[in-house]
Amino acid sequence: MSRFIRNPRAQALQGHRAGIVSRALAFAADLGIAFVLATGLFAGVSLLWDLFFSDDLGVPRPAGGVSATVIFVILVLTLGLGWGSTGRSIGKQLVGLRVVRADAAPLEPGQAYLRAILCALVPIGLLLALFDRRNRSVQDVLCKTVVVYDWVPEVAHVPVSRPQSGQPGA
Amino acid sequence: MPIAPVPPVVVPPAAPGVFDLVARGARVGVDAAGLLAAEVADATVRIARAVLPPAVTTGPLEFVGDAVERRRTEARRREAANADATADAVQAVVRRVVELVIDQIDMSALVRRIPIDEVVDQIDIDAIAERIDVDAVVARVDIDAIVARIDVAGIVASMDLGAIVRDSTTGLAGETLDGVRVQLMGLDLLLARLVDRITFRRTPRDTAVPGYDVAGPEIRTPRGLR
């Protein structure tokens, strides 16, 4: 039993190329998650450092370049991991989007990380989706990828399989 | 041409009918008359014995008495036999008559004529219920035995607990999320339409992805695991 999408128009658009608003929000969510993760990482490392090598505990204020680099790396890692496995990063899963190849096959890891780097470096490339006839961003054109609406993940389609035990009492 | 063996025809003894009843009834009557005659003769012999002098009466009267006695014994025996046969005949005839009568009766019409409502009104269910000792009835039910007969494991096995848990946990979150997603989808379409209008694009956007299966597998299998 799979999850049921009430809106018939939305149901019909499942598997179609997504528009710019959804994709921008998904990227924003991914960026926010990367920011939170980076902050947590800084705080944790700083706390451990202070515990062993310093007398007082303080909130770190890393240089802008360091912070941006860490956020960039975390963003690329999380995006690449998500897109290279199920095609969904956390932000895309939230909005109900999925990245696949133009032939509808899952992304290869190299393709996924290249797309992640391009997205993290030039997020403004998404603006092309507003004008492209096929809703492609610059990254999509370069990596030959497609972003589709797919609200229901595979796990919600597949029934949980249980080992078939013999009839009790038989 | 072989001749098939003919099975022996068994004629069931016919049940006694009305004719038998009349005949046997008549026989009972004849026997009764014979008995009566014998009783009369016996009484006559006894009176003769008392009245006439013994020397005269002994020989002939004893002969007559023996004859009467024989006659009476025979009549009694036949009376008993005939009475039994007559009783059988009476029973059979009565049974036949009752069957015929029942066949003639239109049961449904009869039932229709019964004022069910009035009958039901007369029954005091509460009074009947009051007389039932529920506690005693319950006490006689062996709940443990009933529970032991229920196949709990089978019931649990037949339920897709995973699906129930999944539906109940993802249901609410999914509904809320879908509400937001629908809004975003609407904005997507609105913006795309706006841009298309501004850029004088005549053909609608091509958003279809041939070969994409919404319900298909999503997890990419790494090369080493293929």
Task: Specify the length of chain A in residues.
Answer: 170
Cβ proximity of A145 and A96 under 8 Å = no
**Do B181 and A96 make contact, defined as CB atoms within 8 angstroms?**
yes
Give me the pLDDT at residue A125, please: 94
- How do residues B118-132 score in pLDDT, each as one tens digit? 888 888 888 888 888
Distance CA A24, CA A95 (A): 10
Residue B181 CB coordination number (10 Å): 22
Core vs surface per residue B30-66: b (16+ CB within 10 A) or e: ebeebbeebeebbeebeeeeeeeeeeebeeebeebbe
**Do B195 and A130 make contact, defined as CB atoms within 8 angstroms?**
yes
The residue type at A84: G
B75 has pLDDT over 70: yes
Helix (H) or strand (E) holding A101: strand A97-101
User: Is B97 among the domain residues?
Assistant: yes
Q: Confidence band (pLDDT; 50, 70, 90) for B169?
A: low
Residues 6+ apart with CB under 8 A from B34: B71, B75
Distance CA B61, CA B64 (A): 5
User: Is A89 among the domain residues?
Assistant: yes
Give me the pLDDT at residue B5, please: 63
How many domains, in total, are found in chain A?
1
Is A95 within 8 Å of chain B by CB? Answer: yes
Mean of pLDDT values over B211-222? 85
Helix (H) or strand (E) holding B50: helix B18-51
Burial class of B177 by CB neighbour count within 10 A (0 to 12, 13 to 18, 19+): middle
The residue behind tokens 């004629």 is: B11
Mean of pLDDT values over B137-159? 83
Measured between CB atoms, which of A2, A14, A21 is closest to B188?
A21
Position with higher pLDDT, B123 vs B7: B123
In angstroms, the first-to-last Cα distance of chain A is: 29
Contact residues on chain B for A150, CB-CB shorter than 8 A:
214, 218
A5-9 long-range contacts, CB within 8 A, separation 24+: A5/A151, A5/A152, A5/B178, A6/B175, A6/B178, A7/B178, A7/B182, A9/B185
Give the least confident one: A12-16, A36-40, A132-136, B111-115.
Answer: B111-115
At B14, give phi and psi (nearest 5°): -70, 140
Give me the pLDDT at residue A158, please: 57
A76 has pLDDT over 90: yes
Share of chain B above pLDDT 90, in %: 12
How many domains, in total, are found in chain B?
1
Which CA distances in Å does A23 have to A130, B25, B38, B83, B200?
A: 11, 112, 129, 111, 24
User: Is B197 among the domain residues?
Assistant: no
A118 has pLDDT over 50: yes
A168 has pLDDT over 60: no
The angle at the Cα of A116, spanning A140 to A103, to the nearest 5 degrees, equals: 40
Interface predicted TM-score (ipTM) over 0.85: no
Give me the pLDDT at residue B191, please: 93
Give me the pLDDT at residue A1, please: 40
Looking at chain A from residue 13 to 42, which residues have their Cβ under 8 Å from any Cβ of chain B? Answer: 13-22, 25
Q: What are the structure tokens assigned to B216, written together?
A: 């298909």
Give me the pLDDT at residue B8, please: 61
**Chain A interface test: which of B188, B205, B206, B225 (most A C-beta within 10 Å):** B188
Q: Confidence band (pLDDT; 50, 70, 90) for B138?
A: confident
The residue behind tokens 């202070």 is: A50
Mean of pLDDT values over A67-74? 93
Q: What three-state secondary structure class fits A97?
A: strand
Mean of pLDDT values over A15-40? 95
Distance CA B128, CA B109 (A): 30
Core vs surface per residue B113-127: b (16+ CB within 10 A) or e: eeeeeeeeeeeeeee
Burial class of A35 by CB neighbour count within 10 A (0 to 12, 13 to 18, 19+): middle
**Do B170 and A150 make contact, defined as CB atoms within 8 angstroms?**
no
Domain that holds residue B45: 18-110
User: Is B59 among the domain residues?
Assistant: yes
- How do residues B181-214 score in pLDDT, each as one tens digit? 999 999 999 999 999 999 998 888 999 999 998 8
Measured between CB atoms, which of B177, B195, B209 is closest to A17?
B209
A69 has pLDDT over 90: yes
Measured between CB atoms, which of B157, B175, B209 is closest to A146?
B209
Give me the pLDDT at residue A170, please: 39
Is A8 within 8 Å of chain B by CB? Answer: no
User: Is A131 among the domain residues?
Assistant: yes
Is A1 within 8 Å of chain B by CB? Answer: yes
Give me the pLDDT at residue A169, please: 45
Burial class of A96 by CB neighbour count within 10 A (0 to 12, 13 to 18, 19+): buried
B69 has pLDDT over 50: yes
Give me the pLDDT at residue B11, please: 56
Domain that holds residue A27: 13-154
How many CA atoms are closer than 13 Å to the CA of B89, on its beta-carbon side?
A: 19
Share of chain B above pLDDT 70, in %: 87
Q: Confidence band (pLDDT; 50, 70, 90) for B1?
A: low
What is the residue-averaged pLDDT of chain B? Answer: 80
Distance CA A133, CA A140 (A): 13
Give me the pLDDT at residue B10, please: 58
Give me the pLDDT at residue A149, please: 94
Helix (H) or strand (E) holding A100: strand A97-101
Q: Confidence band (pLDDT; 50, 70, 90) for B97?
A: confident
Measured between CB atoms, which of B171, B206, B211 is closest to A133?
B206
Give the least confident one: A115-124, B41-50, B161-170.
Answer: B161-170
Give me the pLDDT at residue A81, please: 94
